């Protein structure tokens, strides 16, 4: 039987499923190179100006990175849905502003909305693609190889783990509401939900933190995870994304050669 996830369950399953789901050429690079390169592509997307050339570079950077990461279609589809949901209210605000006369220039309003949409989608797509080419253990390896303070690395790992755990807990509560909420007590159940949800999440977070402490994860020497040194392909990839950042910066600040 195929498991169908709904609501929070879908979110929890998506969080678990997105890590390491990409199998494009980028996934063959060393984990630390994937992380740095993803960060650089993100920087390039944010640096590009709103000119036609800038938009072109942004689109190429985003599309190229998503393709090179080999992000599965289901993840891309989810991204499009999330992007649409997040940015549609902005389009409505822009439209309302024009109708009410606050922003008389329709073209400018649309251009502004379009830039926000493109940049927002690009940031989400690049970040998701970078996560998609990293397994959680590779994230640990990548952090160990980078000059990141150990405490910061542990906090990042804790956030990643706790997010999954809390989404899972939310999914359980949502399932309980779905099953028990039907009928006359439904409204009362919904009203009491915040008082149930928050303490349960906090209790779950505390239990996971206890487990991390007892199992010695905070003591775990990140250097032991077997860091893979960068090879020629890694250096070439880094050079390519560095050139992309350079191009975005040149367009932004009008540098000429």
CA torsion 119-131-129-251 (nearest 10°) is 40
Q: Which is nearer to other proteins, 105 or 206 (CB)?
A: 206
Judged by CB under 8 A, the residue of 51, 137, 163, 192 near other proteins is: 137
Nearer to other proteins, 209 or 238 (CB): 209
Please report whether residue 229 would count as binding other proteins according to CB under 8 A.
no
Give whole-number Cα distances, 87 to 67, 74, 91, 92, in Å.
23, 20, 7, 9
Cβ atoms 245, 38 nearer than 8 A? no
Query: Does residue 105 belong to the site contacting other proteins (CB under 8 A)?
Result: no
Nearest to 30 by CA among 146, 142, 144: 142
By CB under 8 A, the count of residues binding other proteins is 27
Q: Cβ of 72: how many Cβ atoms within 10 Å?
A: 15
CB of 15 to other proteins, least distance (A): 9
| By CB under 8 A, residue 216 contacts other proteins | yes
Q: Which residues contact 247 (CB under 8 A, 6 or more apart)?
A: 44, 57
DSSP state of 222: G
Contact between 6 and other proteins (CB under 8 A)?
Answer: no
Nearest distance, CB of residue 220 and other proteins, angstroms: 6
Q: Is 136 in the site for other proteins (CB under 8 A)?
A: yes
Of 195 and 224, which CB lies nearer to other proteins in the complex structure?
A: 224
Are 69 and 26 spatial neighbours (Cβ–Cβ below 8 Å)? yes
- The footprint of other proteins (CB under 8 A) covers 12-13, 16, 19, 135-137, 161, 164-165, 168, 204, 207-208, 210-217, 219-220, 224-226
């Amino acid at each position: 039987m195929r498991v169908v996830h709904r609501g929070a369950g879908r979110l929890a399953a998506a969080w678990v499923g997105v890590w390491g789901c990409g199998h494009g050429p980028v996934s063959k690079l060393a984990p630390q190179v994937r992380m740095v390169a993803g960060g650089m592509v993100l920087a390039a997307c944010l640096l590009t100006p709103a000119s036609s050339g800038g938009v072109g570079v942004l689109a190429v950077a985003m599309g190229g990175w998503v393709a090179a990461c080999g992000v599965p279609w289901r993840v891309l589809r989810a991204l499009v849905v999330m992007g649409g949901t997040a940015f549609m209210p902005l389009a409505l605000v822009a439209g309302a502003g024009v109708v009410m006369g606050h922003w008389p220039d329709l073209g400018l309003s649309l251009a502004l909305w379009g830039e926000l949409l493109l940049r927002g989608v690009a940031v989400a797509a690049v970040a998701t693609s970078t996560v998609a080419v990293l397994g959680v253990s590779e994230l640990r390896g990548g952090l160990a190889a980078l000059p990141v303070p150990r405490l910061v690395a542990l906090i990042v790992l804790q956030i990643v783990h706790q997010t999954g755990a809390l989404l899972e807990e939310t999914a359980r509560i949502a399932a309980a509401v779905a099953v028990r909420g039907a009928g006359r007590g439904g409204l009362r159940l919904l009203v009491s939900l915040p008082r149930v949800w928050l303490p349960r999440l906090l209790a779950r977070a505390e239990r996971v933190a206890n487990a991390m402490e007892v199992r010695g994860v905070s003591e775990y020497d990140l250097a032991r995870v077997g860091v893979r040194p960068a090879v020629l392909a890694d250096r070439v990839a880094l050079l390519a994304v560095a050139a992309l950042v350079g191009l975005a910066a040149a367009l932004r600040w009008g540098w000429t050669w």
